[in-house]
Structure 1
């Protein structure tokens, strides 16, 4: 299944469903209606055994994120997009499989490593406490365009611009 988001075309060949979750058109079936109050990831992919929550950030000036303030702001945005989407899906009774959070960002590899580390500290991955009955997030990873295509050969992404 192909989907276009923020200047990228993804091909999820083995997906059961793929849709833009951060939909702004109220006439579309996946419009969630709470954009004024909550954030949302760009794409949700349903696979046989899990869901992918995917956030895409195509920056005009990615080098600005080398500074701490914009970098920390981006980390916070990514964190809240996951958390709010999880709440949306919980409210829809759609948390019935593990969820993997993937972020496609136009950042250099050292910044990706840093973002991976910091974002994983902000989003509870796995069962953090013995008393939890389910995971909030199965895994969380950040990629740039090149690393995405190396890691996910079944789900290639192409730049459209």
Structure 2
């Protein structure tokens, strides 16, 4: 018998182009502004990615493997410990970027979560996405780090 693991889905609308949202998700400097971590990879399927602190320490608080990349519309990656592989039980996040006239619908789907991770993700993704939206629409991230918003 297979036990279902929790999943999380978050949708937001951003006044930006799909290309700009893609850039914000994959550019290390931009992720450092709104996420507080540089997301570092070449964003090619099979490549690793790291979620490195912006304090210059080089410490990666997370990471995984890029599973699918279709710029500027779809990015799927495992989401766990830095250096973790893409096994069948890996926690996975998908960003779907859809143009709708002059806005973008960004859907974040995070699956294969533990109960503990599901609670953290439910607080974390809305804060990170609010910060991303603010940055793209105003040029400024919110005045608090995402982990201080929950």
Computing the radius of gyration over CA atoms, which structure comes out larger, 1 or 2?
1
Give the structure-2-normalised TM-score. 0.33
* Higher strand proportion: 2
Give the structure-1-normalised TM-score. 0.31
